[in-house]
Amino acid sequence: MKKCHVVYLVCTAAMIGTGLGAAPASSVPRTHLVHPGESIQKAVDAAKPGDTVLVTTGSYHESVKVSTPGLTLRGMGRSTVIRPSTEKAADNTCAEGGNGICVIGTKDENVKGITVSDLTVTGFTRTGVFSMATDGLTVRNVNAVKNGVWGIAQERSVHGIIRGNTARDNGDAGIFLANNIKAEEGAADTEGTEVAHNRLEGNRIGVTVRRLRNLAVADNHITGNCAGVFVVGDENKPKAGDLVVRDNHVVRNNKSCPKTDRLEALQGSGIVLTGVEKVLVADNTVEGNSGKSSMSGGIVLASSMVGTANAKNEVNGNRLSRNSPADLVNAGTGDTGKSNTFTGNTCGASKPAGLC
Mean pLDDT of 93-114: 96
Count Cβ atoms below 10 Å from residue 256 Cβ, excluding itself: 12
pLDDT at residue 25, rounded to an integer: 54
Is the predicted pLDDT of residue 6 greater than 50, yes or no? no
Is the predicted pLDDT of residue 2 greater than 70, yes or no? no
In 3D space, the residue among 227, 177, 179 whose CA is nearest the CA of residue 201 turns out to be: 227
Q: What's the pTM?
A: 0.91
Q: What is the DSSP letter of 162?
A: E
- Residue 96 CA to residue 90 CA, distance in Å, equals 9
Q: What is the DSSP letter of 186?
A: P
User: Contact 265/220 with Cβ under 8 angstroms?
Assistant: no
Which range, of 97-101, 188-192, 307-311, 314-318, averages the lowest pLDDT? 307-311
First to last CA, the chain: 91
Name the more confident of 39 and 336: 39
How does the average pLDDT of the chain come out, rounded? 91
- Residue 113 CA to residue 52 CA, distance in Å, equals 12
pLDDT at residue 342, rounded to an integer: 97
pLDDT digits (tens, 9 = 90+) for 187-233: 999 999 999 999 999 999 999 999 999 999 999 999 999 999 999 99
Beta bridge partners of residue 81, listed in sequence order: 59, 120
User: Contact 179/187 with Cβ under 8 angstroms?
Assistant: yes
- Residue 134 CA to residue 68 CA, distance in Å, equals 11
Name the more confident of 249 and 4: 249
Is the predicted pLDDT of residue 335 greater than 90, yes or no? no
pLDDT at residue 307, rounded to an integer: 75
Q: Is 150 exposed, middle or buried (0-12, 13-18, 19+ CB in 10 A)?
A: buried
Is the predicted pLDDT of residue 23 greater than 60, yes or no? no
